[in-house]
Amino acid sequence: MPCGYFTSDKLRTMPGASAAGAGSDLPWTGWDENTGGFQIQGESPPPNEIFRARYHEATPGYFRALGIPLVRGRAYDERDKTGSQGVLIVNEAMAKYWRHGDALGAKVTFSDHPKEKDWLTVVGIVGDVKDAPKDAGAEPAFWWPLSQVVFSNSSIAIRSNLDPKLLAGRLRAAVAELDGNLAVSEVRTMEALADGSYSTSRFSLVLVGLFAALALVLAAIGTYGVIAYSVNQRIHEFGVRMALGARPRDLVGNVLAQGMKLAILGTSLGIVLGLALSRLLSGLLYRVSPADPVAIAATSAIAIAVAALACCIPAVRATRADPIAALRAD
Question: Coil, helix or strand for 234?
Answer: coil
| Pair 255, 227: CB distance under 8 Å | yes
Dihedral, CA of residue 2, residue 7, residue 9 and residue 13, to nearest 10 = 40
> Is beta strand 107-109 parallel, antiparallel or unpaired with respect to 35-40?
antiparallel
Buried b (16+ CB within 10 A) or exposed e, 242-251: bbeebeeeeb
pLDDT tens digit sequence for 129-157: 887 666 667 889 999 898 888 777 777 88
DSSP category for residue 282: G
What's the rounded Cα separation, in Å, for the pair 74 and 122?
10
| Global confidence as pTM | 0.57
Angle between helices 235-243 and 190-233 (to 10 degrees): 70
Report how far Cα 251 is from the mean position of its chain's Cα atoms: 50
pLDDT tens digit sequence for 156-170: 888 888 888 888 888
CA distances from 144 to 89, 150, 181 (A): 7, 9, 26
Residue spans of alpha helices (H) in the chain:
62-66, 92-95, 164-178, 190-233, 235-243, 248-276, 278-281, 293-318, 323-329
What's the rounded Cα separation, in Å, for the pair 100 and 106?
11
Report how far Cα 95 is from the mean position of its chain's Cα atoms: 24
Question: Coil, helix or strand for 310?
Answer: helix
Q: What is the pLDDT along the chain (330 residues), one digit of tens a residue?
A: 333 322 223 233 333 322 222 222 222 223 334 666 788 888 888 887 888 888 888 888 888 888 899 999 999 988 888 888 889 999 999 999 998 889 999 999 888 888 888 899 999 999 998 876 666 678 899 998 988 887 777 778 888 888 888 888 888 888 888 888 887 878 888 888 777 777 777 888 888 889 989 988 998 888 888 888 888 888 778 878 777 787 888 888 888 888 888 888 888 988 888 888 777 766 666 667 777 888 888 888 988 888 888 888 888 877 876 666 655 655
Mean pLDDT, the chain, integer: 78
pLDDT tens digit sequence for 13-51: 333 322 222 222 222 223 334 666 788 888 888 887 888
Question: Coil, helix or strand for 265?
Answer: helix
| Pair 27, 55: CB distance under 8 Å | no
